[in-house]
């Protein structure tokens, strides 16, 4: 509890820290713009698929790849040291430095060195360690840790960096980025040639040739690995590939995801120490580059992860850092607050859990909004959000989470509660909304009133039958959405049924860490499907859709028989060509709010604008990065401050739009948008797209 409170305080402080907010905003925007531009110039999805396949293949044979790498690297003159944990890696490095009587060490960026606490270890023993990557140098001078994998000083604005450099150098340094880069170049120059050893990380290792691959932009990695007499490279056991071709594909994917560039300024392939055969073809080790190359291969629990089924996917991570810059939570609070003690972001929580099994990182899982943006973005398709949910389910629930899940689990209890509340709310509501009450005023919301309507019985099947899986929010708050879907699909000759034995899909329970409650809910819904025997199952909530389609099949194999019949409503209308048959008259412009799961999970990015156009509207689509509205289900209960922060960003975009209408495809987003806009007395009207279709049909 105390840890959770402390984390909440950190979140609050980060949200109130204006310069952090500005730094994060600038960095995320730059990343997004560059990435989107490059993505459109290359076959990004194809590259992602190839990168994923390579990772899948290599993860299965890591021990063999490491063995082959060692053999080849030794043949090339490198010395390979295996370390199963941080202590062994530190001891190996110290032994090498002692043997060379090294005192001054230059380093290029290495997150593995952060993982093992290398700088503190060496500094305590009297070594002088100089970080030469600009971002790493900045955080070293500030006495901080990196807040991002590839951009360690991302949390600082240029003004803060200038103030830091001025303090360190004892002279005023202007907040001019070009000037600061020149200053770093001048200050660090001499260390490269004076250093006794250079320590680097490595992005990949190629087994067929014993080669290390290091990407960099600044050029410091080349100097660190090329000028000092000894080069020590730190690499972890998941970074091994078999061939040069595999490595180049992964490097392309890594660089584009990391910075939106097609390739970095430098890509170094290092195969053993420098050498020459220029005089009589006699081989001499140690020419202009290092005469010794030591490669420390650190495991820290990774190889055992490779045997743990789903969690193996954590090992695919290329450490590009792109997912963090796309993650709404990271964008809101930065990597010092969201992530593990070393690796930031959602993947950082997963990596920390994998590499520090004795520590409990479950409290960090609660910060994930499960928007799945990281999964959609990741160049190797790591389902970080899903894996984090898996961790939540392993770590267990708090008492209130158990109670809440219990309510979702008991249909009769939830329906009885809704009926009682629907009566009790009467004096407090007006025009379908709760009046402005003190608790809702504080949140700037006017909640939609409860409008519970029961499902219907099943008659004899008449023609093509569609089962509408309405989900809890439509059932209890927005029956108009259900009626719109029924009207629209009936218009096209379908028989629409909404069986009364439907229960909650189970997504809230899963998010509450109560996977065991999901089983009984899933079984009840599968029984309901079997009784109704539908030709199609239509959902109006993307989270529910994904849950019925994917999660049910993972939990219960018998659920897979329904997979091919489940469609999102908008997807069904567009892909079956129904929307085009409406032939609607021209209408106003409409701002479309993308629900996170619709676009990131169901990948239905193109369907909403197609549908809106078919209905005669002028769709106003948000450009990337899309902004989450902050509803986020259980996340908003756990993290009200973050939810409000997301809403503020969304609000800015909504209010900047001239469109009088807002459309969306998720009842959760509908709830959030209506509640906030109502409280603001905005003239904008918010609809589920199903309502717009029903209206268009009525207008004909």
Question: Is residue 369 a contact residue for ligand SF4 (CB under 6 A)?
Answer: yes
Which of 327, 505, 590, 666: binder of ligand SF4 (CB under 6 A)? 327
Q: Which is nearer to ligand SF4, 115 or 370 (CB)?
A: 370
Task: For residue 549, give the nearest of 578, 612, 506 by alpha carbon.
Answer: 506
Q: Which of residues 588-627 bind ligand SF4 (CB under 6 A)?
A: none
Smallest gap from residue 350 Cβ to ligand SF4 (A): 8
Q: Which of residues 406-435 bind ligand SF4 (CB under 6 A)?
A: none
Which of 27, 111, 205, 329: binder of ligand SF4 (CB under 6 A)? 329
Smallest gap from residue 338 Cβ to ligand SF4 (A): 8
Sole window of 19-27, 160-168, 183-191, 324-332 interacting with ligand SF4 (rule: CB under 6 A): 324-332
**Contact between 210 and 69 (Cβ < 8 Å):** yes
How big is the site for ligand SF4, counted in residues (CB under 6 A)?
A: 27
Smallest gap from residue 53 Cβ to ligand SF4 (A): 14
Q: Which is nearer to ligand SF4, 309 or 564 (CB)?
A: 309
**Interface mask (CB under 6 A) for ligand SF4, residues 242-281, using x and -?**
---------------x------------------------
- Helix pair 44-60, 244-259: axis angle to 10 deg: 130
What's the rounded Cα separation, in Å, for the pair 156 and 147? 10
Smallest gap from residue 383 Cβ to ligand SF4 (A): 9
Question: Is residue 474 a contact residue for ligand SF4 (CB under 6 A)?
Answer: no
Dihedral (CA of 687, 525, 419, 405) sign = negative
Which of 148, 156, 294, 373: binder of ligand SF4 (CB under 6 A)? 373
Q: Which is nearer to ligand SF4, 214 or 418 (CB)?
A: 214
The DSSP annotation for 632-664 comes to: TTHHHHH-HHHHHHHHHHHHHHHHH---SEEEE
Q: Which is nearer to ligand SF4, 155 or 373 (CB)?
A: 373
Task: For residue 200, give the nearest of 161, 155, 165, 239 by alpha carbon.
Answer: 239
Q: Which is nearer to ligand SF4, 328 or 608 (CB)?
A: 328
Smallest gap from residue 347 Cβ to ligand SF4 (A): 4
Question: Is residue 305 a contact residue for ligand SF4 (CB under 6 A)?
Answer: no
SS3 18: helix
Q: For 594-617, b where at least 16 C-beta lie within 10 A, e where not — what string?
A: bbbbbbbbbebeebbbbbbebbbb
Question: Is residue 382 a contact residue for ligand SF4 (CB under 6 A)?
Answer: yes
Smallest gap from residue 326 Cβ to ligand SF4 (A): 6
Which of 214, 221, 227, 317: binder of ligand SF4 (CB under 6 A)? 317
Cis peptide bond upstream of 625, omega within 30? yes
Residue 491 in tokens: 């218009």
Question: Is residue 379 a contact residue for ligand SF4 (CB under 6 A)?
Answer: yes
Q: Which is nearer to ligand SF4, 323 or 614 (CB)?
A: 323
Q: Which is nearer to ligand SF4, 267 or 407 (CB)?
A: 267
Question: Is residue 346 a contact residue for ligand SF4 (CB under 6 A)?
Answer: yes
Which of 322, 334, 335, 667: binder of ligand SF4 (CB under 6 A)? 322
Q: Which is nearer to ligand SF4, 372 or 678 (CB)?
A: 372
Smallest gap from residue 239 Cβ to ligand SF4 (A): 12
Which of 81, 319, 392, 514: binder of ligand SF4 (CB under 6 A)? 319
Question: Is residue 347 a contact residue for ligand SF4 (CB under 6 A)?
Answer: yes
Question: Is residue 342 a contact residue for ligand SF4 (CB under 6 A)?
Answer: no
Smallest gap from residue 680 Cβ to ligand SF4 (A): 26
- Helix pair 244-259, 18-41: axis angle to 10 deg: 130
SS3 11: helix
Smallest gap from residue 21 Cβ to ligand SF4 (A): 17
Half-sphere exposure of 533 (CA within 13 A, CB side): 8
Task: For residue 318, give the nearest of 562, 584, 52 by alpha carbon.
Answer: 52
In sequence order, the 6+-apart residues with CB closer than 8 A to the CB of 12 are: 641
Question: Is residue 511 a contact residue for ligand SF4 (CB under 6 A)?
Answer: no
In sequence order, the 6+-apart residues with CB closer than 8 A to the CB of 337 are: 7, 10, 11, 14, 367
Smallest gap from residue 642 Cβ to ligand SF4 (A): 9
Residue 298 in tokens: 């650190």
Q: ∠ CA(327), CA(299), CA(383), 5° rounding? A: 30
**Contact between 488 and 693 (Cβ < 8 Å):** yes
Task: For residue 131, give the nearest of 153, 114, 108, 149 by alpha carbon.
Answer: 108
Question: Is residue 663 a contact residue for ligand SF4 (CB under 6 A)?
Answer: no
Task: For residue 292, give the nearest of 73, 65, 83, 71 by alpha carbon.
Answer: 73
Which of 8, 107, 148, 372: binder of ligand SF4 (CB under 6 A)? 372
Smallest gap from residue 33 Cβ to ligand SF4 (A): 17
**Interface mask (CB under 6 A) for ligand SF4, residues 530-549, using x and -?**
--------------------
Smallest gap from residue 314 Cβ to ligand SF4 (A): 8
Q: Which is nearer to ligand SF4, 572 or 646 (CB)?
A: 646
What's the rounded Cα separation, in Å, for the pair 14 and 23? 12
The DSSP annotation for 373-429 comes to: HHHHH-TT---HHHHHHHHHHHH---HHHHHHHHHHH-HHHHHHHHHHHHHHTGGGE
Smallest gap from residue 389 Cβ to ligand SF4 (A): 9
Smallest gap from residue 320 Cβ to ligand SF4 (A): 4
Which of 323, 602, 612, 669: binder of ligand SF4 (CB under 6 A)? 323
Could you identify the residue written with the tokens 């060490």? 105
Question: Is residue 325 a contact residue for ligand SF4 (CB under 6 A)?
Answer: no
Residue 181 in tokens: 């880069």
Bridge partners of residue 339, in order along the sequence: 344
Q: ∠ CA(634), CA(638), CA(641), 5° rounding? A: 115
Smallest gap from residue 146 Cβ to ligand SF4 (A): 13
What's the rounded Cα separation, in Å, for the pair 447 and 660? 21
Question: Is residue 380 a contact residue for ligand SF4 (CB under 6 A)?
Answer: yes
Q: Which is nearer to ligand SF4, 80 or 371 (CB)?
A: 371
What's the rounded Cα separation, in Å, for the pair 129 and 123? 7
Residue 199: burial class (beta carbons within 10 Å; 0-12, 13-18, 19+): buried
Sole window of 89-97, 161-169, 377-385, 661-669 interacting with ligand SF4 (rule: CB under 6 A): 377-385
Q: Which is nearer to ligand SF4, 327 or 693 (CB)?
A: 327
Which of 201, 321, 595, 667: binder of ligand SF4 (CB under 6 A)? 321
Task: Determine if residue 260 is left, alpha or beta; phi over 0 gives left, psi from -120 to 50 gives alpha, anything else beta.
Answer: left
The DSSP annotation for 117-182 comes to: THHHHHHHTT-EEEE-SHHHHHHHHHT---SSSS-TTTTS-HHHHHHHHHHHHTS---S-HHHHHH
Sole window of 69-77, 86-94, 370-378, 514-522 interacting with ligand SF4 (rule: CB under 6 A): 370-378
Sole window of 161-169, 322-330, 434-442, 606-614 interacting with ligand SF4 (rule: CB under 6 A): 322-330
Residue 2 in tokens: 């105390």
Contact residues toward ligand SF4 (CB under 6 A) are 257, 317-323, 327-329, 346-347, 368-374, 377-380, 382, 384-385
């Amino acid at each position: 509890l105390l840890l959770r409170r402390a984390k909440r305080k950190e979140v609050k402080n980060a949200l109130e820290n204006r310069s952090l907010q500005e730094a994060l905003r600038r960095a995320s925007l730059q990343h997004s713009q560059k990435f989107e531009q490059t993505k459109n110039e290359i076959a990004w999805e194809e590259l992602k698929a190839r990168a994923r396949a390579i990772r899948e293949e290599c993860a299965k044979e890591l021990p063999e790849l490491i063995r082959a790498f060692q053999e080849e690297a030794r043949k090339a003159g490198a010395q390979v040291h295996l370390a199963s944990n941080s202590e062994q890696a530190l001891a190996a490095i110290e032994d090498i430095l002692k043997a060379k009587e090294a005192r001054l060490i230059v380093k290029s960026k290495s997150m593995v060195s952060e993982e093992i606490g290398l700088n503190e270890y060496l500094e305590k023993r009297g070594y002088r360690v100089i970080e030469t990557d600009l971002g790493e140098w900045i955080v070293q001078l500030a006495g901080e840790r990196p807040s991002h994998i590839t951009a360690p000083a991302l949390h600082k604005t240029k003004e803060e960096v200038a103030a830091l450099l001025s303090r360190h150098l004892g002279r005023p340094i202007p907040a001019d980025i070009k000037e600061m880069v020149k200053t770093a170049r001048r200050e660090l120059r001499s260390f490269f040639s004076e250093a006794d050893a250079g320590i680097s990380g490595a992005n990949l290792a190629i087994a067929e040739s014993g080669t290390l691959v290091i990407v960099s932009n600044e050029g410091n990695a080349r100097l660190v690995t090329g000028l000092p007499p000894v080069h020590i490279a730190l690499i972890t056991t998941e970074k091994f590939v078999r061939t040069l071709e595999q490595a180049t594909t992964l490097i392309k994917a890594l660089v584009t995801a990391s910075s939106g560039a097609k390739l970095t300024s430098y890509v170094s392939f290092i195969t053993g120490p420098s050498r020459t055969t220029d005089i009589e073809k006699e081989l001499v080790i140690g020419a202009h580059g290092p005469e010794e190359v030591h490669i420390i291969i650190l495991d820290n629990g990774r190889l055992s992860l490779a045997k743990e089924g789903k969690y193996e996917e954590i090992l695919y991570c290329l450490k590009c850092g792109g997912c963090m810059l796309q993650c709404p939570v990271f964008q809101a609070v930065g990597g010092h607050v969201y992530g593990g003690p070393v690796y930031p972001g959602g993947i950082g929580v997963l990596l920390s859990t994998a590499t520090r099994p004795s520590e409990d990182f479950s409290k960090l899982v609660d910060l994930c909004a499960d928007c799945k943006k990281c999964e959609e973005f990741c160049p190797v398709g790591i389902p970080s959000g899903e894996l984090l949910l898996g961790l939540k389910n392993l770590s267990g629930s708090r008492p209130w989470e158990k109670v809440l899940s219990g309510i979702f689990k008991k249909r009769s209890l939830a329906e009885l509660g809704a009926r009682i509340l629907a009566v009790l709310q009467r004096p407090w509501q007006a025009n379908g909304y709760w009046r402005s009450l003190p608790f809702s005023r504080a949140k700037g919301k006017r909640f939609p009133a409860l409008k519970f309507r029961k499902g219907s019985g099943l008659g004899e099947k008449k023609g093509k039958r569609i089962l509408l899986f309405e989900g809890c929010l439509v059932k209890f708050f927005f029956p108009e959405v259900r009626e719109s879907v029924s009207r629209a699909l009936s218009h096209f000759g379908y028989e629409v049924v909404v069986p009364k034995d439907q229960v909650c899909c189970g997504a809230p329970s899963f998010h509450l860490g109560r996977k065991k409650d999901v089983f009984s809910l899933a079984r009840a819904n599968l029984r309901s499907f079997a009784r109704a025997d539908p030709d199609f199952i239509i959902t109006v909530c993307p989270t529910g859709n994904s849950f019925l389609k994917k999660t049910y099949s993972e939990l219960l194999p018998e659920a897979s028989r329904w997979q091919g019949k489940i469609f999102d409503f908008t997807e069904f209308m567009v892909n079956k060509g129904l929307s085009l048959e409406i032939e609607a008259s021209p209408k106003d412009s409409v701002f479309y709010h993308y629900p996170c799961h619709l676009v990131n999970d169901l990948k239905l990015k193109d369907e909403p604008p197609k549908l809106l156009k078919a209905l005669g509207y002028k769709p106003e689509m948000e450009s990337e990065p899309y902004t989450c509205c902050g509803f986020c289900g259980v996340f908003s209960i756990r993290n009200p401050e973050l939810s409000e922060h997301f809403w503020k960003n969304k609000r800015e975009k909504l209010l900047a739009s001239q469109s009088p209408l807002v459309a969306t495809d998720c009842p959760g987003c509908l709830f959030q948008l209506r509640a906030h806009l109502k409280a603001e007395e905005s003239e904008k009207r918010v609809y589920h797209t199903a309502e717009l279709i029903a209206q268009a049909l009525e207008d004909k």
